[in-house]
Amino acid sequence: MNLLLAEDDAILADALCEQMRASGFTVEHAPNGAVAQYLLAKQQFDVVVLDLGLPMVSGIDVLRQLRQTDASLPVLILTALDSLEDRVAGLNAGADDYLTKPFDFPELEARLRALLRRSRALKASTELGQLSMQRETRSAQVRGEMLELSPREFDLLDLLLTHQGRVITKEQINQAWSGDRAAPSAGDGGAATNAVEVYIHRLRRKLEGAQVAIRTVRGLGYLLELERA
């Protein structure tokens, strides 16, 4: 279990690294927000523990940037900021859990393992309405019938399901396609925009009967939701 700890308090960070490694985690430590961003871009992690009061780049900014490229990586905010406004801001920025200092390590470990369990369940399979997806086999079904999806269609559906009920932008879609050499990049302007619209149209047709809808949010992007009765 690869864990990123973004914490600028050296004494606390050393203690947490030691305890987490003793609990079976492989830990990378980022002493500031810039290092956290670098490690998130270069390495794969299973979970992140993030302080909000990081130097150079704030924890909120680290989290917001992460959510532009990865919506599913579990993030637990660990901070001394304990006001309602701080908790709401952290959760709205994309955090999965929020723990304030001081804290007991057994509670932190329990919360992390709960996040990992939920993350594994989400990655393995997702269902919404009559639509089901299995990420390991890159397959999806509507009412038990297999959908014929191109790689880009699957990646688009995966992104929509991961963000279900929330808006995704065309930029996020193009980033999800970034590993596909045939996909136009965000820098291609109109070509990239048109490609997104074409694939949204194709996916809508293939999801007929799934009791889900891809809704266009004008000026923002798209979201996947249950069809309204």
Largest Cα separation within the chain, whole Å, is: 56
Q: What is the pLDDT of residue 124?
A: 60
Q: What is the DSSP string of 110-178?
A: HHHHHHHHHHHHHHHEEEETTEEEETTTTEEEETTEEP---HHHHHHHHHHHHTTTS-B-HHHHHHHTT
**What local confidence, expressed as pLDDT, does residue 121 receive?**
64
Buried b (16+ CB within 10 A) or exposed e, 57-86: bebbbbbebbbeebbebbbbbbbebeeeeb
pLDDT at 179: 58
Would you place residue 123 in the very low, low, confident or very high pLDDT band (cuts 50, 70, 90)? low
Asked if pLDDT for residue 125 goes beyond 70, the answer is no
pLDDT tens digits, residue range 20-31? 999 999 999 999
Give the pLDDT score at 72: 79
Mean pLDDT of the chain: 88
Q: Helix crossing, 59-69 with 84-92: angle to 10°?
A: 20
pLDDT band at 70 (very low <50, low <70, confident <90, very high): confident
- Count, residues in the chain: 229
Share of the chain above pLDDT 70, in %: 91
pLDDT in tens, 145-164: 999 999 999 999 988 987 78
Query: Can you give the pLDDT at residue 188?
Result: 46
CA 25 – CA 137 distance, rounded (Å): 27
The answer to whether residues 2 and 43 touch, using CB atoms and an 8 Å cutoff, is: yes
H or E stretch covering 141: strand 139-142
Q: Say if residue 190's pLDDT is above 60.
A: no
95: Cβ–Cβ under 8 A, 6 or more apart, which residues? Answer: 50, 63, 75, 76, 77
| Structure token pair of residue 46 | 């299973």
Helix (H, G, I), strand (E, B) or coil at 35: helix
- In the chain, what are the domains? 2-123 (3.40.50.2300), 129-226 (1.10.10.10)
Task: Give residue for tokens 């269609």.
Answer: 153
The phi, psi pair for 69, rounded to 5°, reads: -120, -20
Among candidates 27, 46, 29, 43, which has minimal Cα distance to 117?
A: 46
Residues 61, 16 contacting (CB under 8 angstroms): no
- pTM, whole model, 2 decimals? 0.57
pLDDT of residue 181: 39
What is the end-to-end Cα distance of the chain in Å, rounded? 42
Average pLDDT over residues 67-78: 87
Whether the per-residue pLDDT at 185 is higher than 70: the answer is: no
Q: Please check whether residue 26 is in contact with residue 4, taking contact to mean a CB–CB distance below 8 angstroms.
A: no
pLDDT in tens, 89-119: 899 889 999 999 999 999 999 999 999 888 7
Tell me the HSE value of 9 on the side-chain side, using a 13 A CA sphere.
13
pLDDT at 223 over 60: yes
Residue 28 corresponds to which amino acid?
E
Q: Which residue has the tokens 């136009």?
A: 184
